[in-house]
Amino acid sequence: MEYELIDSGEGRRLERYGKYLLDRPDPQIIWKKTLSLDEWEKADAYYKRLSEDRGNWVIKNKVAERWELTHSGIKFWTKLTPFKHTGIFPEQASQWDYIYEQINNFKNDSKAQDIQVNVLNLFAYTGIASLFAAKAGANVTHVDSSKPAITWANENRELNGMQSYPIRWIIDDAIKFTSREAKRGMKYEAIIMDPPAYGHGPNGEVWDFNRHFPELLNNCKKIISVNPIFILANAYAISSSSITLANTLSDYFRDLGGNIENGELTLKEKSAGRLLSTGIWARWSR
């Protein structure tokens, strides 16, 4: 991907997204910067916090309204949003490759060639994981509570000329949707989820990770296929470790056999080679 973590320190990240250099806050970074102030001043834009939950981008050099990045043949739009994000999480690149490889390998298995792979992507954001699943040959159900995120995801699909690929866009609360899917008898061969620490559904439904993640997994257990490929969970800004994710997945999916893995999502800094931990993950695979 055309991304680099150039430097980090003192609550900030210096990152290259394609041709633009961005300076963004990250409160967990308590170590010192490696590069000089002059290097940090080269940023085309930096995000200025105004309060705990508000801020704005200060543009120093002209930055396009949106620009294109690519990873493993999939293109996607990135842009400066009011909440410091850019529409992509670069640390997820290895997960996108994993999603593609697992589905592709399954479809190439002679015992599974007559099975249509259905993938459910929950808290699916701008849809990059959905595109990798669809590229591998899956029917994808993409669920997010944010209409702007769904719009962005559809624009990413159009950017790749994948309008004919079977992706179903759903604006809904993850728990309500999976509960209805269970009642309908719908089954999925793979489930992807990126639940936040806290959030709200389209009708004001409250999401609290520690309270609702086990309930969501209980629903997912009811809709996982008899030919499961993987269940993947990523999490950001929660107090739990990846071990907690793995233990909770084990509660619901260990009877499927297979393996449960867990770890941290990281970015490697170019300046000093330090690893920046950005989140955690756990996954069950066949």
Q: How confident is the model at residue 38 (pLDDT cuts 50, 70, 90)?
A: very high
d(CA 5, CA 86): 14
Q: How confident is the model at residue 237 (pLDDT cuts 50, 70, 90)?
A: confident
d(CA 107, CA 119): 13
Q: What is the pLDDT of residue 112?
A: 74
CATH architecture of 90-285: 3-Layer(aba) Sandwich (3.40)
Positive or negative CA dihedral for 186, 189, 194, 196?
positive
Q: How confident is the model at residue 1 (pLDDT cuts 50, 70, 90)?
A: confident
Would you list the domain boundaries of the chain?
3-78, 90-285
Report phi then psi at 9, rounded to 5: 155, 150
Q: What is the pLDDT of residue 260?
A: 97
Grouping H, G, I as helix, E, B as strand and the rest as coil, residue 40 is: helix
SS (H, E, C) 101-122: HHHHHHHHCCCCCCCCCEEEEE
Q: How confident is the model at residue 158 (pLDDT cuts 50, 70, 90)?
A: very high
Q: Is the pLDDT of residue 92 over 80?
A: yes
* Strand residue runs (E) in 50-95: 55-59, 67-71, 74-78
Q: What is the pLDDT of residue 114?
A: 84
65 by Cβ neighbours in 10 Å (0-12 / 13-18 / 19+) ranks as exposed
d(CA 143, CA 165): 16
Nearest alpha-carbon partner for 191 in 126, 258, 102: 102
Q: How confident is the model at residue 54 (pLDDT cuts 50, 70, 90)?
A: confident
Q: Is the pLDDT of residue 4 over 90?
A: yes
Q: Is the pLDDT of residue 111 over 80?
A: no
Grouping H, G, I as helix, E, B as strand and the rest as coil, residue 79 is: coil
d(CA 153, CA 149): 6
Grouping H, G, I as helix, E, B as strand and the rest as coil, residue 266 is: strand
Q: How confident is the model at residue 238 (pLDDT cuts 50, 70, 90)?
A: confident
Query: Do 3-78 and 90-285 have matching folds?
Result: no
CATH 3.40.50.1970 fits 3-78, yes or no: no
Q: Is the pLDDT of residue 119 over 80?
A: yes
Q: Is the pLDDT of residue 62 over 90?
A: yes
Report phi then psi at 29, rounded to 5: -85, 100
**Residue with token string 């992509």:** 88
